A and B are shown apart, each in its own frame.
Chain A
Amino acid sequence: MMREQVDAMETGTSTTMTSRTLEKSIGTAYDGVDPVPPREDIREAAMRPVLETGKWWWTAVITLGVVVIAGIVAWVMQLRDGLGAAGYNNQAFWAIYEADLVAFIGVTYGGAVVSAVLRLSKARWRAPLTRIAEATALVTLPIGMMFIVPHLGEAPRIWELVWPPYWNLSSPILWDFFAVSTYLLATVVFFYLPLIPDLKITLERLSAGPDNLKTRTCKKLYTVVGGNWIGSIPQRRVLQGALGLISIMIIPMAVSVHSVLSFAFSSSSRAGYLETIFPVLFVVGALYSGVALVIVMAAAFRKGYRLERYITEKHFVRLGFILIALGATYLYLTFTEYLVDGYSGTIGNAAWVRQTIMGRYWIPFWFFVVGAGLLPLVILAFRRTRNVKGIATASAIILLAMWVKRLVIVIPPATEPLVKSPLNVASANWGTFHFTWIPITITLAATAAIPLLLLVVFKFFPILPVADMEEMAAEAEGLEEDLSTLSVMASTGNSPSGDRKEIMHANA
């Protein structure tokens, strides 16, 4: 095997084969040549964002860029005026930034966990979606982590969080910090590994084009990060193994991130935060909004780059069914939380449940119930609305409603007075969070940063996982051939070729 690998690396530069069939490649596969036939149509579609820069691309990037810059300006204003300028006060000590933190780290789940689960379950249909999903995870996680900065009262001292002598290991915030950092690393690896075979292909494409600065930079970049990939069977085996491993690892990592994030709230004695259901609720909520974000992004980029042939309505419908399952679970968990807390009737719990459902917070709460619960279910239930447009609209509404739900999670318990008359709870003095333009602008900027960064990412990396899709295509063809061989076999009594089976196995 070692010998073959060395050979493979030596011959690696001459793999520009155009019309090979699976059959032909069997003989050369072990000599270190890519056994999977290339598919020109897939390559062309995947490379579209890299090669063409339309007017709309610039319009989108500039528009989104302006929003992001407005967010940065808002943050500078906040640094100047203090957190009070963001609407905080002693009785609303946690509010919008904490909700943003949960919401934006949450939406990374769609890319990370869904893609990992689909990989592990060997769902073939996933292939065209994975790059968009994984790239979404890659860009949203740093955006989510960024919310730690405006959330802090003394942002310039943020270095203390990475200074081990100051670490207090009993603090949930520190657990968050560790969990999110590990998760970030895993997300990068998870984006990078499936990209390796594609880098080679991108390099070939770019070499064929004009030789300008961008091409040269990309060439350098791809040569460094792409390694010596030639697509031989041993390399594919290693890559598949690594991908399998990271797919398994990223799931508990992602689960731990949101569980630990929920501990920052639930490891306190505050009614409405002290909920054993929080870790589960947070994880499911993250998955729910995460899938919704993948749908929205997939719909947008599909339209922008004319990928309808690869990302079909079927993909959206399938993701839509995943949405229904997650949405129903989330509603159920919320219902149990509210029921138990409301029913128990202890002073603190009864107060926040009442205020949330029918008191001062009833509008956002019911907006969530309708927007993230009933409306998407209705849209997805009817065949007439169960199309790309309908599902993408439902997902956009879910994203907004789930953000509002995070506000409903964070604000009511924070504003609940902790010292109240046991005999006259109603007279207690609730706090109020005053929304100001600063945190709203920062939140909008973070939202705009997601498509902005994706537009940039796909300027450098193919939007479809070419190698993965080619393998799938080859497998599908191989499968058809296998079936035809089988039928021949049935009539003639011969056994099918063992060689090809081995190739199939390696590719799976």
Chain B
Amino acid sequence: MTSSSRQPVEIATRPPTTDAQETPSCEDAGLSRRHFLERLGAIGVAGALAGTGVLEAASGHKAGAVTTAAAQATGASSKPAHQWCMVIDLRYCNGCKVCTAACQEAHYLHKDQTWMHVFTMTNASGNTYHMPRPCMMCEDPPCVQVCPVKANFRTDEGLVLVNQSRCIGTRICMNACPYQARYFNWGPAKSAPRQPFPQEPEWPVPQVEGTVGKCIFCAAMLPMGKIPECVSNCPMDALYMGDLTTDVAVNASGQVVKLSEFLAANDAVKFKESYGTHPRVYYILGHDQDLENDEGAG
């Protein structure tokens, strides 16, 4: 298991925890339907906040008083309540790039900053298919390891984030990320109206010139019971936001699946697993679709 070799990630406001133990086993498969729906409701479609309190207790990393207070109110201990992940069903993605646009609109990004980038791929018979690529939220993220000033960190809910008020812009993380998931602010950042949150790793709006940005799994929205912009806007329901702890995933239409079963049933794969990054984004491939799994470079 890689978790033991993983270096601890410094988190400013919370005692360090190891996330690996929290990754759920898929043992509680015999869930009752009612129970299941209760949990699904918690994730809900954009803004629909059901009453189970799963999401309110989320993301204790947020320095913001609201979420920290919420976490305390629901008695969340040092054990993180969630382990976020994403499922991308390539069978349904039609390459419309609504996800990219929604993300850019929400985070005030320039057109070249495609935190969710939709790649056009070619299959054996010469036809094209589409591969959306957010940040993989690697369990063993090389981007975190190479940063000289600890501007990258991983929360114990499995979110890899960038502290843009720390980043000095060496771009060695852009070199280290095997998924090309990092985007730099090469010039003045796109201006944004006054935000409800201060500029922070969970809500890096507006971006900071001269620093690196990337998909953040919409970290600031998760505690409010909202699923990420890309997921909630995908017209094809190709994207699912998932939680490994509660073992559920939900898409734009509010369809909820039991994560472990859904992944198993559809032979979900991870991208470039041979790199040892342990991504937390799962891809479901259709007939004749493939991911590049180059056996390392070297």
Contacts and interface: CB of A to CB of B under 8 A. Distances in A.
Given A82-B210, A84-B187, A90-B184, A267 B146 contact: yes
Interface string A330-366: 0000000000000000111100000000000000000
Contacts, number: 172
Given A267-B146, A347-B292, A422-B291, A83 B172 contact: no
Contact of B148 (A94, A155, A177, A347): A177
B279 to A, nearest CB: 13
Interface in A438-491: none
B292 to A, nearest CB: 4
Contacts of B190: none
A499 B146 CA distance: 61
B36 interface: no
Interface in B262-293: 275, 290-293
A90 B112 contact: yes
Contacts of A166: 149-150, 166
A265 B175 contact: yes
A427 B122 contact: yes
B297 A271 contact: yes
Interface in A230-269: 264-265, 267-269
Nearest to A82: B187
Contacts of A346: 294-297
Nearest to B7: A170
Interface string B196-220: 0000000000001111100000000
Contact of A88 (B148, B186, B294, B295): B186
Which DSSP category, helix, strand, loop or mixed, fits chain A's interface? Answer: loop
Contact of A422 (B187, B211, B275, B292): B292
Given A90-B112, A154-B169, A422 B293 contact: yes
A127 B184 CA distance: 50
A471 to B, nearest CB: 45
Interface in A373-429: 414, 417-424, 427
A418 B178 contact: yes
Contacts of B123: 421, 423
Given A83-B169, A168-B149, A268-B146, A90 B183 contact: yes
Range, interface on chain A: 35 or more
Contact of B149 (A84, A160, A424, A427): A160
Contacts of A264: 172, 175
A182 interface: no
Contacts of B222: none
A153 B162 CA distance: 15
B142 interface: yes
Which DSSP category, helix, strand, loop or mixed, fits chain B's interface? Answer: loop
Nearest to A276: B298
B177 to A, nearest CB: 8
A85 interface: yes
B26 interface: no
Contact of B170 (A81, A90, A151, A417): A151
A3 interface: no
A168 B142 contact: no
Contacts of B119: 419-420
A280 B112 CA distance: 37
Contact of A152 (B112, B170, B178): B170
Contacts of A91: 180
Given A94-B175, A154-B167, A417 B294 contact: no
Nearest to A168: B150
A225 interface: no
Contacts of A173: 146, 148, 170, 172
B88 interface: no
Contact of A268 (B142, B180, B290): B142
Given A154-B169, A161-B149, A268-B176, A83 B294 contact: no
Contacts of B48: none
B133 interface: yes
Nearest to B296: A269
A275 interface: yes
Interface string B121-156: 111100000010100000000100111111000000
B166, B178, B298, most chain A CB atoms within 10 A: B298
Contacts of B122: 421, 423-424, 427
Interface in A152-196: 152-155, 157-158, 160-161, 163, 166-168, 170-174, 177
A219 interface: no
Given A82-B188, A423-B122, A153 B148 contact: no
B56 to A, nearest CB: 33
Given A83-B169, A161-B168, A174-B148, A270 B297 contact: yes
A153 B186 CA distance: 8
A423 B185 contact: no
A269 B146 contact: no
B297 A272 contact: yes
A126 to B, nearest CB: 38
A421 B293 CA distance: 10
Given A153-B184, A160-B149, A171 B211 contact: no
A182 to B, nearest CB: 17
B259 interface: no
A154 B180 contact: no
B250 interface: no
B171 A94 contact: yes
Interface string B90-133: 00000000000000000000001100010111111000000101
B184 A88 contact: yes
A276 B256 CA distance: 47
Contacts of B292: 347, 419-422
Contacts of A160: 148-149, 166, 168
Contact of B187 (A81, A269, A270): A81
A274 interface: yes
Given A270-B297, A348-B294, A153 B172 contact: no
Interface string A269-289: 111111110000000000000
A25 interface: no
Contacts of A270: 175, 178, 297
A83 B292 CA distance: 31
Contact of B179 (A168, A274, A349, A419): A419
Contact of A419 (B133, B209, B295): B133
Contacts of B178: 269-270, 418
Given A269-B275, A421-B292, A84 B168 contact: no
A5 interface: no
A153 B146 contact: no
Interface of A: 81-85, 88-91, 93-94, 151-155, 157-158, 160-161, 163, 166-168, 170-174, 177, 264-265, 267-276, 346-349, 414, 417-424, 427
19 contacts: A83-B169, A93-B174, A153-B185, A153-B210, A157-B149, A166-B166, A168-B150, A173-B148, A177-B148, A269-B296, A271-B297, A274-B297, A275-B298, A419-B133, A421-B290, A421-B292, A422-B293, A423-B122, A424-B122
Given A82-B188, A93-B174, A157-B167, 6 more contacts: A82-B187, A93-B175, A161-B148, A170-B7, A348-B294, A422-B294
Nearest 4 pairs of A and B residues by beta carbon: A153-B169, A84-B186, A153-B210, A424-B122
